[in-house]
Structures are given as structure tokens and as C-alpha cells.
Amino acid sequence: MSQLSDKELLKVMADFPKHELTTRQRTEMLKVLGESGSRKQRNPINFQRFAAWAAVFVLILIAPILYFSSSKENDAIRTGSKGETSNHVEQGDYFALMDENGAHYVDSNYGIPNKVSLLAPTEWIAKDKRSVSKIMIYLWGDYEKDFANKPLKVDAVHVKTGVKEHLATTVISGGMYGSDGHAMTAFEPFAFSGEYNLTFTAGNKKVGTFSIYVKEPYIKIGNSTLMISQEDLYAGFYEDAVIEVEGDNLPIEIELELFQLENAEVTTFTFKDKTDYTTTDGRKISLYTGDFQIKKSGKYRFSVLKHSEAVEVRKPISNE
């Protein structure tokens, strides 16, 4: 090896394993080789062969280090900045539950066929207990092996922020509607709007993971709630809209007043058909139904029963 020419040394270097390096790593490599080249020019006779061998020796030492460093950086990119391996998320869909009596809940059972599903509400709403107060979950598998005497945990990850939320821990019962196990529970309200990945775990075994979309909160006006998500509020006509009011001794009819800040225009709409009920925690609730119209987008003040709230009516966003 000591009799190798410079050309032969370069051929030897070319045979080393090739690894993809980052920009920083390539810069460091070039710096090492450049420095050895500079020394070669300054000492063309005494250090020429020494510089070439030094470059080969340095390459042998740092190539494995740079390779593993590059691998770790690539792994970090694949797994996310937090260093956590992301769970595999399957595409959820609506599907019917099937038993000897036929199909059930065709339009409301949502999840992964033959794994896990839940009876989905009409819409998931952030910071709201109504849509998550009663949730039925269905599971498929070996009941005695996978589900018997095991708790079912439901956890969620907000996709945009990475924030984790524990939604429920419940008991798994026997199968129904063609499933091998089921559970009745209530979820904690979702803290944010946006996409969530829900993970269902029986004991220590993950049953499945799928995503749902949670809308922005309903429009809150004092003790009243206009049951329309903020993100669904656009200029237009709203028929049979519902206002929920908490309290006692409420009137038979209530009014929704819309004050447009841009031109100070005021419009008033009457809500009636009052329906009363009491929640499980003793709160008195009344529901009113009515129609109303928003003529244009912009900033408004919505008022109900002497309470007001600033509301923005957005312009529709084209998906084209």
C-alpha cells in the first residue's frame, strides 16, 4: 500500500461506501480535503504523500459517524420534531352494522370496518359537551382474548398542534349489531377545532386509529347558544335554526337581534316553539326554533335576552 500513487489512492477512496450527507456534513468534508490540498501545495515534496494518506485516514474515521448522524437526522424528519413515532392512521368511513335483523346505523356508524367504530354525532363541535355526551363504540376481534375484563381507552391527538387529549376510559361489554364487543361512554369536550386522530386501546393492545374533524364552537351569547358553528356562519337564509337558553322562567318567545357594525343596520328575528328539559346535572334548558337571514358578510353584534356578543360573518372560501 505504501507504493500506491496518488491516482491509485483516489481510486481506493472511490471504493468506500457512499452515504448521503447533509449540507453541513459535506461542507466539513470539503474543508478537511481542502486543508489537506493546501498543505500539499505548500509542501510539494515532503508532505504530498502524507496529506493524501491523512485524507484517507480522516475519511475512514468520520464516514461511519457522518452516516449514523445523517440517519438520525432523517429519522427525526420522518418521526417529527418531537422524536415520537407517529401512529398509523387509517381512513375512517361510514358503514352499516350488520346482524341477523339486517343493517343498522348506515349513516351514523363511523370508523374502520371489522376493527372499531363509533356512532358519530351529526357534527363534532369544539368546547361543547352536547356532541360527546353519549358515545357508543363497537369493536371486532376475539372477545375473550382481546376485550374481556379489559378497559377501553380512547385518546386523541390534535393533528395541527400535536396536543394530546384523553377522551374516555370505559368498560367493554359483549357484542351487539354484529360486533364482538361494545362500550357506552361520554367523551371529554375537544379543546380545539380541526382534525384529530382517535386511538382506541383495549388493555395494552391498540385496536385502531382513525381521524375525525371537529368544527369551531357554537356561537355563545350570554346564557344562550345559537346552535351553528362559527365556521358555518355565512351570509344567507337559515331555516329552523335553534337557540338553546339556560335558565328558569324564560318567555314563550325570544328575539335574535343582528346589528351590523359597518352600516348600523338592525334586524330582529323571532324564535318560538319553546321546548323545556332538565339535564342530568339539574340545569334547566329551553330550546327555541326560528328562521333568520344575514344579508352580507362582516362584523356584527348578536343579541339575545339582553346579552350581546361580537360575531364575524365570514366570506365563503372556494375549494377550487
- pTM score: 0.70
| The pLDDT value given to residue 79 | 39
Contacts 24+ apart (CB under 8 A), 148-152: 148/172, 150/202, 150/203, 151/202, 151/203, 152/183, 152/185, 152/200, 152/201, 152/202
| The pLDDT value given to residue 55 | 57
Rg (CA), the chain: 32
| The pLDDT value given to residue 281 | 83
Bridging pattern class, strands 124-125 and 205-215: parallel
Alpha-carbon span 48 to 43, nearest angstrom? 7
| Alpha carbon separation from 66 to 20, 22, 33, 80 (Å, rounded) | 9, 9, 15, 21
Alpha-carbon span 252 to 270, nearest angstrom? 11
pLDDT in tens, 118-135: 998 989 999 999 889 999
What SS3 state is found at 107? coil
Alpha-carbon span 19 to 17, nearest angstrom? 6
Given the C-alpha cell 372556494, which residue does it identify? 318
Alpha-carbon span 258 to 304, nearest angstrom? 9
pLDDT in tens, 267-288: 999 999 999 999 888 899 999 9
| The pLDDT value given to residue 316 | 85
| The pLDDT value given to residue 77 | 38
Alpha-carbon span 227 to 128, nearest angstrom? 11
| The pLDDT value given to residue 38 | 47
Low-confidence ranges of the chain (pLDDT < 50): 1, 17-20, 38-45, 47, 66-86, 320
Cell of 208: 385502531
